[in-house]
Each structure stands twice: as structure tokens, then as C-alpha cells.
Amino acid sequence: MTAYSCMNTAELEHEYTQVLNKYESCKAKGLNLNMARGKPAKKQLDLVSDILTVMQTPEDCFDGTIDSRNYGELAGLPSARAYWADVLDCKSSQIFVGGAASLNMMCDIVSRAFTHGLLNSPRPWCREEKVKFLCPAPGYDRHFQIGEFYGAELIYIPMLSTGPDMDMIEEYVKDPLVKMMWVVPKYSNPDGIIFSDETIRRIANLKPAAPDFAIIWDNAYCLHEFEGDYVPFPDIISLCAEAGRPNMVFEFASTSKITFAGGGTSCMAASEANIEYFTGVFGVQMISYDKVNQLRHVKYLKDKAHTLEIMKRHATVMAPKFRCVSRWLNHEIAPLGFAHWVDPKGGYFVSLYTMPGTAKRVWQLCKEAGVTLTNAGAAFPNSYNPKDDHLRIAPSLPPVEELEQAMEVLTTSLKLAALEKLLNK
Amino acid sequence: MTAYSCMNTAELEHEYTQVLNKYESCKAKGLNLNMARGKPAKKQLDLVSDILTVMQTPEDCFDGTIDSRNYGELAGLPSARAYWADVLDCKSSQIFVGGAASLNMMCDIVSRAFTHGLLNSPRPWCREEKVKFLCPAPGYDRHFQIGEFYGAELIYIPMLSTGPDMDMIEEYVKDPLVKMMWVVPKYSNPDGIIFSDETIRRIANLKPAAPDFAIIWDNAYCLHEFEGDYVPFPDIISLCAEAGRPNMVFEFASTSKITFAGGGTSCMAASEANIEYFTGVFGVQMISYDKVNQLRHVKYLKDKAHTLEIMKRHATVMAPKFRCVSRWLNHEIAPLGFAHWVDPKGGYFVSLYTMPGTAKRVWQLCKEAGVTLTNAGAAFPNSYNPKDDHLRIAPSLPPVEELEQAMEVLTTSLKLAALEKLLNK
């Protein structure tokens, strides 16, 4: 195969005709496939469904002397706080255990920041002339939607191979209206990269002008390797404390992709002062999150080491799917030289950089051929990608057979959109 | 026994000496008893712990074709929506199923009203010069705390034997800054009364000046009879619709006192327009609440009729405790004529009206003798009861033997505080 950039117009026209024929034959299959969201596959959910039976009797419901079935323990059962401290390598006193979704706690933090302020806020954010959030992108669309919902100005920070562009971030935080930054530091959504040690060090050592600048450190994929061994990751809580801003970071994790996406448990990790402050704030809305489910998870997952064993089961399902994506892209697209991507070793996504100006068209071509992808641009603040060159692939849900079909459609669409662009069709 | 009002000073002094001796002997026992919160007893939790085993296999996790273990179905599983519609006598389309705490959804409604506004709000409440909440009292302290947290002015509305004073409410809602009212309409917390048909009709027919006036209709005790048969209760959603203000009411219910206080599920019922609006709003913070637990509850509770059977089991534990409270009060206090209370047939509390000006003193005397009650005044907006004449008794948690001891302390303290007052001690 020849790179498109090395073809003359006649060759491109020839290629176009061939690709168009291929696309039409794909379309004729009448597929209905979905790679839009990072949903676990049924097979993965089945692999962990033993969790349903770890609590059977009233006696099973006790965490020491605490009855998980009754009210109380707003910050979480002691055993659940200890579990998360083990996973995130911090202290139990730095853990607040939440409900089924860590996103809900992130939104609560933002909501209360706007109406009441954070621990070190001079005033509630709604009393600021304007509030700005730093959004390394491509990133997690639901993070950005929370910022949009509260009317924050979202500032696009490019993602590099080491993590977000720290030069830009260090500049931006000099603005006292810059109040928040959202990151997924390990197997970033969707690039699948791990922030470099240098990036993490620079983040922990930020000296923002806003005394209440907060980092949402969404460690959603902290244990989520599907290729190779577990990669240790530093504890951001202690790094920020060592750098003199202990209250600057809120870390989140959940079991949504460890046990059940529809019935997991989650946690927030932060400085003891933040945990105390937010235990007060959350005490207005809650008596406690679901402690029976907290205990069910502790009994099933036990500790970090045992959880990593369970993650190896998920890897047996996940790895073949990511290999399928990689194989199609490397075989069909790499030689043509107009697109690039990252082959991740963990997380839930593949970040695909199309020929600039064609991502939306690729999305539309896939849609018309029965393959639903996450909206082009969704991974950017305000859903706007100025280069129109990015798609997020979520291969976890479909079985490999379906994925093969979907990747045929996707690679064909990638080519077709590129050729349309090159030939001004 | 003679009523205190019929005793002369010498008789009161004699009584005081006797009561003081009794109090000192109570105190000498070194009790440590708690009647502060409406927590279910361990025996009740044990009676419903079969719920732990109703879901055991992957197949058990399907609600029709929907896998409860995966993401999706933000408004709740179809079967869970149908279950709550059966319980509350409304439509499935009027149900949004939440997490472990209905209080959390109430707080979310208020939070979003302040930052974004409700469906019919001309502007977010934070942009109003001031916002006022009507607080029939005694009421649920956690309701009032939400209002306080958001800086609303809380307006005290007296509770009558038929429910809140509707004459006052009809007057107050003429003020466009009056935006919300909080009620527990069946077995009200803490009076334990059921709002009369006339009160409910007048509430549904309110014509508030604020187009976004909202009623929090916390139907926390909708199935919670412990004496006698289930008392049917009208569907407030359709009553408000018939009266021409379909979006005025948000109803809440939960299984906190049906299954597990620490691991239940909850719902909001409202007009379809409100459900649609809040499904959008909640979609920013959630992918879905815990659907595995929703399905677990549907499988265990089945429907309203079966749930009422389960409530009869709770009644076998609850009724003897309320009878114990009633017996002590009727035997020790009623003849003395200085206090009154309601003997409820459902709910979780007894509202005790002490001699005016003595409730705080009774609380303190109980505390010093090892019996913790809910803070005096807690059931009033801003925790301030101008008459200082109210205590909330929560007899559900302690076993009857402990309750006997606690009631001896309480009745002795009631007398002692009254005598201190009458004798200016």
C-alpha cells in the first residue's frame, strides 16, 4: 500500500472508487453495532457476578461492630475506607466512600463550590465574575459537561504524549479565575496514556493564583491494565501535601469497571481537612451512601492485590478486543500515513486521530453504515474540536466478531473521508 | 395523682422532693440509651435480610432484556419504576428511581433550583433577592437543614391536628419569594398524623404567586402502619394536575424503613414534564443509580400488596415499643395535666409537647441521666422553637427493656423540669 500523500490524483481517484465500492458493500450488510460508550461486556459482568452471593445472612452484614444495614457512617464503613486507601496508596482518613458513581461526587464538589465554595474559597464561585476550568483534551466528555452545566469557561489544554501541556497549565493558573482542572491521569480517557512522572510532579507543584484551585484527579482506571503487569502509580494526595498545597486535589475511583457498572461503589480521596469539610457538606444531603454494597465489595474484592487478580479476568475479555482494533488500524490505515492513534495497555478507549477536517465525516459514514461511535468532538470542551480530527473508539462492549465488522466499517470510512477531502468530493 | 395545676406550693414542693429523689436514683443507674434518631432495630433488619439472596446469578440480573449490572436507564429500571408507581398510585412515567437516600434527591432538587432553576422558574433562585421556604413544624430536621444550607428564609407554619395551618399557607404563597414547602403528609415526622382530605385538597389547589413554587411531598411513611390496617392515601401528583398545577409537587419515598436504612433504594414521583426535565439535569451527574439494588428490591418486595405484608413484620417489632412509650406517658404524665402528645399508628416518632419553656431542660436532664434524645427544638426551622415545648421521641432502635428504662428517665425528667418551672427553682 502507498501512503495517500504519495499518490497522484489518478491514483487517488482509483483508490476512491475501490474504497467507495467497499463502503457500499459494508453498508449493504445492514449492521447495527455500537462502539459509543465504555460499557463492560456481558462476559465481564458474568466473570464477577460471584459478588452477588458474598453476603447472605444478617451476620454477614457487620463490619466489626457496625451494622452496614442501618443508618450511620457517613464517610463510609471503616473496612471500605481501608480498602480504597490500599488501592490508592493513601490513608483511610483521606477516603470518603460514595455511591454507585464517582461522577456524582465530582458534580457535588462543583455544585457546592458554586453555591458555598471549597475549603479555601474566599467566596462561592457563583459570586466570582467568571470561573474558568482547564480541560486537557481529548478528555472525558462527562467531565466537560459538568463544567458547561455550571457555566464555567472551559479552556482547552492539548494532551501530549506525557500528559497535558504543563507549560500552558503553569501559565493559565496564574489567572485567579482559573479554579479547576480535570484529568484522568492513568490510562487517560481517551488517549490511554499514563501521565509521566515529570508531569505529575509539575501538577503537584502548581502554585495557582486561586487559593481554592482544585484538581479533579479522576483515577478511573487505576487498576485497569489489560496488557502486561500492573503499573504502580504515585499517590497524588501526598505529593500535593509535600508541595505545600494539600487541599488542591480531589481523587476519585470506582468499581464501575471492576464489578458492576450498574451497581458499583466509588470513593473520593483528599486531604483530611477536605474530607472533614465535605463530610459536613454531604451530611446535609445524606445519612450515608449504600453501606451494604460497600461491605459486599470489601468482602468480594478484599484488597488491592486480590482486586488485581480480578482485573486479570477482565483482561482476558478486553485484550482481544483492543488487539482487534489495533490489528485493523495497523493493517488497513498505518501504511496510508494519514491517521494516527495510541495502542493503550489499559483503560477503556482508543484515541483515533483522523485526517484533520474529516472526523465528523467519518462519524457520519460509520453511522450510515450501522456503526455508532461517540460523537466526533465529544472529547473536547464544549464538544468542539477545532481540528475536527478526533474520534474515541470504545471497543469493550461488542463481542470480537462484531468488532471485526465494526472495524471494517470504521477503517473503510476513515479512508473514504480522507479521499473525499483530498479529492474535494 | 393530682394535676400540677391543682396543687398548692407545699404540695408541689413535696412532689418536687419525691421526683428529685427518683431522678437521682435513675441517674445512679449509669444508663447509656439513645432515642435520638429514627433508626430501625436490628430485629427489623434481620426480618428482611432475605433480600440479600434474591439475586444470585447473572440471569437474575436481567430486567426483561436490560442488564441491571451495566450502564444505562438513568430514570430507573422499568420494573422499579412500575413498582414505585404501584406503591404511590401514580404512573411509571412519573417515577425517577434514585439511590440509597431520597434526601439526596431532595437536596439535588433544591441545589439545581438555586443554580439553574426548576422547570417553571423565571430565573435561578440564586438570582432572586431572597427565597423563602414554608416549614410546617414540628417537622423533619433534615428538611429544614437543606433550606438553611442554601440560605433560604424558613417560615414557621404551625402544625394542627389536620396537618399544616392551611389558612397561613394560603396567605404566604401570595408572596412570589415563597418558593417551596416541605411536608411529610402521612404519619408526619414527628407528629405522626395523617393530613386530612381537606388539607390535601387545599394543598393541591394552592395558587402560589411564584410560578415555580414547589412542594416537597416526602411520603417517607407511605406504607408504615404499625397499628391497624393500611390507610389508603391519595395520589398528590394527579390531584395537583387536576387543580391545574401539575409541576408543583415532587413526591419522595424510599425503602430505608422497609428493607435496609443503610442499603435501600428511593424514588421521586412528579409530572412527566418534571421527570423529563430532571432526567436531563441528573444526566449531568449520573449514568444511573444502582440498578442491581433496584432489581434486588423489586424481586424481594414484588408489589405494594406484598410490601404491606412485609410491613406487618416490622409492625410486630415496632408496635410494642410505641405501646411502651404510650403506656409510660399515659400512666405517669397524663394525670398531671401539663404535657400532651399524639399516639400515632404509623411512622417512626412520638411528638411530645412538654410544659412550655421546659423542653430544653428535659433534654438536659435526660442527657445527664444517660438518655439521649433528639435536640429540643430540632424539629423547628433553624432549630428554634419559640415555645420551647417540644421533644421528638424515636423509640424504634432500643429493645423494649431499654425503652422501659429510658421512659422512666424521660417521664421523671418531664416532671422534674415542670416542677422546677412551677417553683422557680
What integer pLDDT is reported at residue B1 of this predicted model?
A: 81
CA distance B9 to B294: 62
Determine whether the interchain pair A99/B100 forms a contact, defined as Cβ–Cβ distance below 8 Å: yes
Torsion angle of C-alpha atoms B47, B51, B52, B55, degrees rounded to 10: 160
- How many Å separate Cα A319 from the centre of its chain? 18
Residue of A nearest to B294 (CA): A263
Average pLDDT, chain B: 97
Q: How far away is chain A from the Cα of B355, in angstroms, using its nearest Cα?
A: 31
Q: How many CB atoms lie under 10 A from the CB of residue A314?
A: 23
Q: Does B108 touch chain A (CB under 8 A)?
A: yes
What integer pLDDT is reported at residue B52 of this predicted model?
A: 98
Q: Does A53 touch chain B (CB under 8 A)?
A: yes
Q: Does A122 touch chain B (CB under 8 A)?
A: no
Q: Does the pLDDT at position A235 exceed 90?
A: yes
Question: A237 to each of A246, A417, B88, B141, how far by Cα in Å?
Answer: 7, 45, 46, 35
CA distance A272 to A252: 15
Average pLDDT, chain A: 97
CA distance B142 to B147: 9
What integer pLDDT is reported at residue A340 of this predicted model?
A: 97
CA distance B109 to B282: 10
- How many Å separate Cα A342 from the centre of its chain? 15
What integer pLDDT is reported at residue A1 of this predicted model?
A: 81
CA distance B404 to B414: 15
User: Of the candidates A42, A45, A286, which has its C-beta nearest B103's C-beta?
Assistant: A286
Q: Does A291 touch chain B (CB under 8 A)?
A: yes
Q: Among B292, B295, B296, B396, pick the best mutation site for testing chain A contact (most A Cβ within 10 A).
A: B292
Q: How far away is chain B from the Cα of A8, in angstroms, using its nearest Cα?
A: 48
Determine whether the interchain pair A263/B114 forms a contact, defined as Cβ–Cβ distance below 8 Å: no
Residue A361, Ramachandran bin (φ over 0: left; ψ between -120 and 50: alpha; else beta) = alpha
Residue for grid cell 431520597: B102
Over residues B233-283, the pLDDT tens digits come to 999 999 999 999 999 999 999 999 999 999 999 999 999 999 999 999 999
Q: Does the pLDDT at position B116 exceed 90?
A: yes
Q: Mean pLDDT over residues B367-381, rounded?
A: 96
Q: Judge whether B296 and B208 are in contact, CB under 8 Å.
A: no
What is the reported pTM? 0.97
For A28, counting Cβ atoms within 10 Å of its Cβ (0-12 exposed, 13-18 middle, 19+ buried), the class is exposed
Q: How far away is chain B from the Cα of A418, in angstroms, using its nearest Cα?
A: 34
Determine whether the interchain pair A284/B101 forms a contact, defined as Cβ–Cβ distance below 8 Å: no
Determine whether the interchain pair A285/B146 forms a contact, defined as Cβ–Cβ distance below 8 Å: yes
The dihedral through the CA atoms of B169, B174, B175, B180 has a sign that is: positive
Name the nearest CA neighbour of B94 among B252, B234, B293, B218. Answer: B252
Over residues A109-121, the pLDDT tens digits come to 999 999 999 999 9
Q: Mean pLDDT over residues B180-193, rounded?
A: 97
Q: Judge whether B109 and B250 are in contact, CB under 8 Å.
A: yes
Q: Mean pLDDT over residues B379-393, rounded?
A: 96
What integer pLDDT is reported at residue B59 of this predicted model?
A: 98
Residue for grid cell 502509580: A233
Over residues A211-233, the pLDDT tens digits come to 999 999 999 999 999 999 999 99
What integer pLDDT is reported at residue A37 of this predicted model?
A: 87
User: Of the candidates A40, A115, A292, which has its C-beta nearest B150's C-beta?
Assistant: A115
CA distance B11 to B5: 11
Over residues A130-169, the pLDDT tens digits come to 999 999 999 999 999 999 999 999 999 999 999 999 999 9
Name the nearest CA neighbour of A196 among A159, A219, A163, A220. Answer: A163
Q: Are strands A371-373 and A66-67 parallel, antiparallel or unpaired?
A: unpaired
Over residues B63-111, the pLDDT tens digits come to 999 999 999 999 999 999 999 999 999 999 999 999 999 999 999 999 9
State whether ipTM is beyond 0.95: yes
Residue of B nearest to A141 (CA): B284
Q: Mean pLDDT over residues A21-38, rounded?
A: 94
CA distance B300 to B294: 10
At B135 the three-state DSSP class reads: strand
Cβ–Cβ pairs < 8 A, chains A and B: 171
Over residues A367-398, the pLDDT tens digits come to 999 999 999 999 999 999 999 999 999 999 99
